Amino acid sequence: MRVLITGGAGFIGSHLAEALLANGHSVSILDDLSTGTLDNLDTTVRHPLLEFLEATILDRVVVRSQVSTCDYVVHLAAAVGVQTILHKPLASLKTNVEGCENVLDACREFGRPVLLASTSEIYGKNETDSLCEDADSVIGSSSIDRWSYATAKKLDEFLGLAYHGTHGLPVTITRFFNIVGPRQSARYGMVLPAFVRAALVNEPIRIFGDGRQTRNFTYIDDCIDALLRLLRNPVAAGKVINIGGSEEVSIRELAKRVRLAAGSASPIVKVPYREAYPQGNFEDMRRRVPCICRIEALTGWRPATDLTTIIQNTIAHERAQGCPESIPAPGPTPGMLV
């Protein structure tokens, strides 16, 4: 099987490419390297079954050409990260909506099944104890740029399901809950690598708000296992499927656990949102916990990596990479110790 991965030079895409190649599949990667990097493909770029093309999913001609030569499409390319969305709102919307439509239209033309990557962000401010795929989206005001990402990805889901219902296109939609692990960049506001890199050089670990907001983190190996199972499962077509970890943790507790695991002397400091985002176009959600009953029923998948191991593996990876990259402060240097 030949699989096209849009965004294949990114964090998740590069790991998926490795796994597919290891299983004997051919892989084509389409990536404009706006957030991905060729460094992520160091172990695969010379593989005889891998082809890489630097191009954008906004180029309909290129997308059509790439889709025509593959058997399956995994659409991961997107504008990602809070900082990207806040600083480039229009470009992010075009990439996430127009790019998705280009991919879906090409898949319809050539009859290629497609997996669309969505996000737990679409649940917005819904704080239900266990968010199933049919739970409501509670999205904030359109004056808050943060919600443009959730809205765009929800529209992508509607498009995918409409192509499935109207054209019979096999479309599977996955909602990722905070995928973490080696190669994830802190550059776009990703919390765990930012905490780890700060801890390793004894710099302040910055948490936004009061730190009591909770999340579930999913290790990259578990995520790839879930994706491979779904790619092999035609029954998943037409469905939206959560992929998420099993342990809920507050951001404050996560910072403490990272500091302890790294043997760090870093102070943990709270950064008020008004300082982290002085432009005032950000709003956070207090809680986001996934229900994973659907994917378990379809494939038997459950996350295998606990949070302690996730933190240890991320620290080990960053240490193996040498001196961590410097992470710029998100705003004025705070002085409130936790």
Domains of the chain and any CATH numbers: 2-179+219-243 (3.40.50.720), 185-215+247-288+305-337 (3.90.25.10)
Nearest Cα to Cα of residue 215 among 83, 307, 303: 307
Integer Cα distance of 31 and 202 in angstroms: 35
Catalytic positions, written as ranges: 149
Structure token digits, residue 79: 């504008």
pLDDT of residue 151: 94
**Parallel, antiparallel or unpaired: strands 114-119 and 171-176:** parallel
pLDDT of residue 280: 61
Phi, psi of 257 (to 5 degrees): -70, -35
C-alpha 30: how far from chain center: 17
For 258, counting Cβ atoms within 10 Å of its Cβ (0-12 exposed, 13-18 middle, 19+ buried), the class is buried
**Could you count the other beta carbons within 10 Å of the beta carbon of residue 201?**
14
Integer Cα distance of 113 and 75 in angstroms: 11
pLDDT of residue 321: 84
Nearest Cα to Cα of residue 18 among 272, 264, 224, 248: 224
Note the pTM of the prediction, 2 decimals.
0.91
The set of residues, in sequence order, having a beta carbon less than 8 Å from that of 117 and lying 6+ positions away, is 12, 74, 75, 76, 78, 174, 176
CA distances from 257 to 143, 195, 276, 308 (A): 35, 10, 23, 8
Profile the chain (338 residues) by mean pLDDT over runs of 10 residues. Answer: 98 98 98 94 95 98 98 94 78 95 98 97 93 96 88 97 98 97 77 94 94 96 98 97 96 97 96 75 85 98 97 93 50 34
User: 23-27 long-range CB contacts below 8 Å, 24 or more apart?
Assistant: 23/228, 24/49, 25/1, 25/49, 26/1, 26/2, 26/50, 26/51, 27/2, 27/3, 27/51
Radius of gyration (C-alpha) of the chain in whole angstroms: 19
